[in-house]
Structures are given as C-alpha cells and as structure tokens.
Amino acid sequence: MFGNLISFLVLIAFVVLFGWLTFRIWKAKRWFIKWPGLVLSVLLSLTLLLTARGSDDGSITIKTDGMSFVMDEVHVKAGQPVTLHVVNQDGYAHAFDIDEFDIHAPLPANETFDAAFTPAEPGRYTFYCGSPGHAAAGMEGVLVVEP
C-alpha cells in the first residue's frame, strides 16, 4: 500500500531535482559547462527514476534472519503471478512452506529457493519454516492476497 505512495513521492522529488539542476546548469555562461552538465543531469535523473520504480514482475524477496523471516508480511494481488525468492542467510538449514499453495521446500544453509505461483483467492495465508521447532519459535509470516 505504501510502496506506491513512496514511489510516487520519490518520482516527484526527482522531477523537482531534475528541474532545478537543469535551470542551474542552463544559466551557466560557459558552453563547456552547459551541455555536458545538462546531459549528465538528464542521465542521472533518468537512472534514478528507473531504479526508484521498483519491481513490477511480481517477484518478492524474503530473507531469513536466525529464527525469523525479515519480511513477515507480504502483500500480493489475486490473479497475478508471484515469485517468492526465499534467501536463507543463515549457516543452518530451514524450510519454506505455504500449505494452501502446496509449497514445501527444504532451504539448505546459505541457499535460495524460488516459489512461483498465481494466488486465485484473496485471503491471509501463513508461510512458515517447516524445520522442527522453527515455526514454534516464531519463524512464520503472512502472505496477504488482496483482491
């Protein structure tokens, strides 16, 4: 929800920054400052705008941190393809499970796993570590599928 608002505010900030830089550079009296500076300003602003845009391909990264997931609530849209890129940053094994989507994967130490699926029904679905005792220790999160 806040991701789109933040992206929009970042976009506005970069447009304002680009306008200010363009104005300052254009007022320069020397041509060798004016044109290269203007080109650099445009390239910098475009680069920052494109990187601030975020990922639209439906991929989300979830990392482990000891006995927890760094991102313990994930929001996705119903009917849209999703890829959960699960990264085990720990020196010991975990697992990644979402029962409702029949996702059950071992996650060896310092390894990754990609779960690709398309959630059809809105709702709240628990993802957890299926290694013995890990979920009980709090290693779980919620996948929120929004309409």
Q: Is the pTM of this model over 0.85?
A: no
Task: Look at residues 83, 82, 87 and name the one whose alpha carbon lies nearest to residue 107.
Answer: 87
Question: Using CA atoms, how far apart are residues 145 and 84, in angstroms rounded to an integer?
Answer: 13
Instruction: Give 4's pLDDT tier (boundaries 50, 70, 90).
Output: low
Could you read off the pLDDT of 69-120 as tens digits, one per residue?
988 889 999 999 999 999 999 999 999 999 999 999 999 999 999 999 999 9
Taking residues 42-50, report their average pLDDT. Answer: 62
Question: Using CA atoms, how far apart are residues 44 and 60, in angstroms rounded to an integer?
Answer: 27
Residues contacting 116, CB < 8 A, separation 6+? 81, 82, 83, 84
CATH topology of domain 59-146: Immunoglobulin-like (2.60.40)
Does 55 score more than 60 pLDDT? no
Taking residues 118-138, report their average pLDDT. Answer: 95
Q: Which two tokens stand for residue 63?
A: 């990392």
Taking residues 122-135, report their average pLDDT. Answer: 95
